[in-house]
Amino acid sequence: MWHEISAVVAAHSADSVGDALSERGALAVTLADAADQPIFEPAPGDTPLWQATCVTGLFNAEADFESLAQSLSAGLGLEHGHWRHRVIQDRAWERTWMERFKPIKCGTRLWVVPSHHEVPDEADVVLRLDPGLAFGTGSHPTTALCLKAIDSLVQPGWRVLDYGCGSGVLAIAALKFGAESALAIDIDAQALLASEDNARRNEVAKGLETSIPKDVANLDFDLVLANILAGPLVQLAPMLTAAARPGAKLVLSGILESQIDMVDAAYKDGFVMSEPMLQDGWACLVGARR
């Protein structure tokens, strides 16, 4: 059994409330949106919080809510009634996790299948992938749209660039479809390690190279992939355009529908752009190098 203690506070108070929970023995502290206020794309170096932020501390079974609430209220100047308490019973967390992540079909041939699931009989190309610290399992619309595009585009022998690789799912999918090589780039060392591990599990490690961000202009890739955010996509447009050989394909995602025109404008001089692919408010742009 566990005790969950939470309070909704203004953004400027969230850190101090979280610190107070930790100081009183919280095993974990989380911050969440309390008023349905999305934060889509913060500025570089900025870590904004929601105006109404729910701060939650998780305590062990021996914790006493009344004592904790009294101590927290006195230390933070909050009323006792400001705190909410919930008892969480022990569960088979591994089974719960396994039930949440199921095989996902992306495109006409590709299936992303967690390691604990059997491969569906109808699966043609299978990518084994489990949720981890690095982003990208195929469940988010931005990743699903990219995988759908890869399913229809990749040709054997292609050289592929995956800029902002996360878990490596896009680069690995391209290799599974017969690409000769893929360069996966990310600013996060954890993402590069995850990409390498996932490539080994899918038996395509031989074709994968990983790297921190570097200049990739004039490397003549057959397919350029970037599933990041609209702002960075616009900033990277000159380099990613120069990295694509004549006739190469381009797949861009991490774009809100309202940002399509902005990103399209940054690439239309170098690429003939197709109609955007849309899903749940997100967009994926596909183009061919002029």
Using a pLDDT cut of 70, give the percent of the chain over it. 88
Number of domains in the chain: 2
* pLDDT computed for residue 134 by the predictor: 44
For the ranges 44-58, 196-210, 243-257, 272-286, the lowest mean pLDDT is seen at 44-58
CATH code (residue 183): 3.40.50.150
> Range of 250's domain?
136-289
Residue 253 phi, psi (nearest 5): -145, -175
**Assigned domain for 240 exists:** yes
Tens of pLDDT, residues 66-97: 999 999 999 998 887 789 999 987 765 545 55
Same domain for 140 and 280, yes or no, is: yes
Whether the per-residue pLDDT at 163 is higher than 50: the answer is yes
In a domain, 103, yes or no: no
pLDDT band at 155 (very low <50, low <70, confident <90, very high): very high
Rounded to two decimals, the pTM is 0.70
